Amino acid sequence: MADRPWLMRTYAGHSSPARSNELFRRNLSKGQTGLSVAFDLPTQTGYDPDHELARGEVGRVGVPVAHLGDMRTLFDGIDLSAANTSMTINAPAMWLFALYVSAAGGDASRLSGTTQNDIIKEYLSRGTHIFPPGPSLRLTADLVAWSVRHAPKWNPMNVCSYHLQEAGATPVQEVAFALATAIAILDEVRARAEVTDFAAVVQRISFFVNAGVRFVEEMCKMRAFTQLWDEITRDRYGIEDPKARRLRYGVQVNSLGLTEAQPENNVARIVLELLGVTLSKDARARAVQLPAWNEALGLPRPWDQQWSLRIQQILAFESDLLHYGDLFAGSHVVEAKTAEIADGARAELDRVLEMGGVVAAVESGYLKSALVSSHAERRRRVESGEEVVVGVNKYAETEPSPLTAAGAAPIEQVDPAVEAAAIASLKEWRQDRSQSAVDDALAELRRACRTDENLVDVSIACALAGVTTGEWAQALREEFGEYRAPTGIAGVSADGGGLADVRARVAATSAELGGRKLRLLLGKPGLDGHSNGVEQIAVRARDCGFEVIYQGIRLTPGQVAAAAIEEDVDLVGLSILSGAHLQAVADVMAGLGDADIPVIVGGIIPPEDERTLLATGVARVFTPKDYALTEIINELVTVVRQANNLQD
């Protein structure tokens, strides 16, 4: 008898709740068995669409949800009691869950799904954190404790190692850091008087992992993950029921390895990565969502998402994979590699726990520096050719692709009018609600924040009163404060080929300009928190002799421009991966005014937008196809020389 297939999802949502609802319905009609909601960056970071930081970001990387009306529209016509919904939301996870419960009619006991709710990896990779670690752990633990009592089919936390691998984590680091996060949450929840069935808590904790193209190693990683979770829940927490100790995980296969060059090759990569989390029955994923072949180019279209869904369906329903037991039981090769990863992860986990746990390791900068260092080492291997990326650093010759040919519209475009429509809708919502009810609900929320009271019920009351996402988050900002995580670039170095020549050129340019170091300001204007690329540029530029000024994520364009003028820099580098590059770059350049400072831009930027940026005065545009960091830094030197009329 064949095993039951895993839940099949596609990560979806953009533009507006109504457009995203249409996409959800279409995907479900094609055989998708679960929903995975992508929220836009303002929603993820607790801002309403009319906030200054939301400018250019509304509806780009996901759906904007500013209030209960938006949540109702998003799931209109979908029976939430029968749905299995995964929400990729972290800092405001409690708030989006409160909106979801309210949209479902208030009976959480019928609801199945997951809130990601893993704030630790936000400090390390995605950058959508809001509050300091202490209050953030409280919010996570509140939602876990409440859900176990009131929403027994809901997974209140999805410990997410996916983005750790995207930020550079090795398999050992990915397993160890994720387990350290799970331990921090379980320790926090276990101390709660309201928790009477701790085994039920353990059983509701799930994981969301990454799977790279080295699919044999990835399979062994998941077998090691399974073993270690069983050990920890048994030995540390005394869970006796083997079923409660089972590792339950979902996966999105690796997006970091998808290439802009020859993007059709990404289909093969996606298939191999899928095998890493499905071949081994003893460590098989419970839910899978696959990226689309063209995600390195921009926002995928419905057809692209359908292709990814069909890959899952062919493996599950046409192949015979689900008809057999574990294919690798007893394999000496697999057992040896699994043991190697498990032993390394145990040692790394012990190191983190000896520091005082994962929060202490975040605050000290240890975890971030470890990831930046690992990522720098991977970049070195790619640049040197030691690690082959087909179509990028080897076999780059290619025929023209009909998938990306002129007129083929290879990505979905978000209408700029989406933002204005969201702001108008928000204004109407505020006008139609009872302001006194909103004020009372927010006052009660603030009062509860100052106690040890669980905040889920007061958040649901806020949702029903008409409070907006930005208002809920602002109330908590005022009570808990905000947090800027360590950048992780201090002390990291990754020597690469050709550095000596670029260092000499930097030194010569510096001498010609009066002797002080060349100063590079790197900025991430707006809400895009994916800082992996800009961190690698910072490390390599510093290694080449630049003085690098990088203040981290989430600055307004005005703040970036003001810092560039105040620091008297020679060059401004902007990193924007959310699709908001045209607006953000225009705002930064407007802020620079008459300051004669050249600007370069990096991100996922379509060719037509690249031409627009260059035409408006941007000196250079770099995209994922530009993988050689030292060559990029050399080009930055050229920009500085040209801006100062220096001859080579």
Contact present, 236 and 200 (Cβ < 8 Å)? no
Write out the DSSP string of 172-241: HHHHHHHHHHHHHHHHHHHT-TT---HHHHHHHEEEEEEE-S-HHHHHHHHHHHHHHHHHHHHHTT----
Inform me whether the pLDDT recorded for 486 exceeds 80. no
Inform me whether the pLDDT recorded for 509 exceeds 90. yes
Residue 428 to residue 48: CA distance in whole angstroms = 13
Query: Sign of the C-alpha dihedral, residues 526, 528, 534, 535?
Result: positive
Residue 311 to residue 331: CA distance in whole angstroms = 27
- What average pLDDT does range 199-225 have in this prediction? 95
- The closest alpha carbon to 413, from 54, 59, 28, belongs to 59
Inform me whether the pLDDT recorded for 430 exceeds 80. yes
The type of residue at 125 is S
Q: pLDDT by residue (tens digit) across 123-172?
A: 888 788 999 999 999 999 999 999 999 999 999 999 999 989 988 899 99
Residue 493 to residue 372: CA distance in whole angstroms = 9
- What average pLDDT does range 296-302 have in this prediction? 83
- What is the chain's mean pLDDT, rounded? 92
Write out the DSSP string of 283-320: G--SEEE---TTTTTSBPPHHHHHHHHHHHHIIIIISS
- The closest alpha carbon to 35, from 92, 78, 95, belongs to 78
Out of 71-75, 263-267, 403-407, 491-495, least confident range: 491-495
Per-residue pLDDT, 409? 61
Which of the two residues, 69 and 3, has the higher pLDDT score?
69
Residue 51 to residue 545: CA distance in whole angstroms = 38
Phi and psi (nearest 5°) for 576?
Answer: -140, 110
Query: Sign of the C-alpha dihedral, residues 6, 295, 389, 265?
Result: positive
* 530 to 112, 403, 478: CA distances (angstroms): 29, 27, 25
Three-state SS for 7?
A: strand
User: Which helix (H) or strand (E) is 156 found in, with range?
Assistant: none
Inform me whether the pLDDT recorded for 267 exceeds 60. yes
Residue 219 to residue 277: CA distance in whole angstroms = 6
- What average pLDDT does range 563-582 have in this prediction? 91
Contact present, 298 and 255 (Cβ < 8 Å)? no
Residue 540 to residue 92: CA distance in whole angstroms = 34
Residue 263 to residue 19: CA distance in whole angstroms = 27
Three-state SS for 65?
A: coil
Q: Angle CA(483)–CA(489)–CA(490) in degrees, nearest 5?
A: 100
Phi and psi (nearest 5°) for 35?
Answer: -105, 140
Q: Which of the four pLDDT bands, split at 50, 70 and 90, describes residue 492?
A: low
Q: pLDDT by residue (tens digit) across 319-377?
A: 999 999 999 999 999 999 999 999 999 999 999 999 999 999 998 989 989 998 998 89
Which of the two residues, 581 and 467, has the higher pLDDT score?
467
Which of the two residues, 166 and 272, has the higher pLDDT score?
272
Contact present, 622 and 628 (Cβ < 8 Å)? no
Copy the structure tokens of residue 206. Answer: 């799930």
The type of residue at 633 is I
Residue 351 to residue 358: CA distance in whole angstroms = 10
Residue 140 to residue 189: CA distance in whole angstroms = 9
Residue 156 to residue 202: CA distance in whole angstroms = 11
Supply the Cα-derived Rg of the chain in whole angstroms: 24
Give rounded-to-5 percent helix, strand, coil for the chain. Answer: 50, 10, 40
Q: Which residues contact 417 (CB under 8 A, 6 or more apart)?
A: none
Neighbours of 295 (CB within 10 A): 20
Owner of token pair 């060349």: 518
- What average pLDDT does range 280-291 have in this prediction? 94
Q: Which of the four pLDDT bands, split at 50, 70 and 90, describes residue 632?
A: very high
Owner of token pair 């900002």: 477
* Predicted structure pTM score: 0.87
Phi and psi (nearest 5°) for 169?
Answer: -60, 140
Neighbours of 396 (CB within 10 A): 12
Contacts 24+ apart (CB under 8 A), 544-547: 544/499, 544/502, 544/503, 544/506, 544/630, 544/633, 545/502, 545/503, 545/506, 545/507, 545/510, 545/517, 545/518, 546/506, 546/517, 546/518, 546/519, 546/520, 546/633, 546/636, 547/517, 547/518, 547/519, 547/520
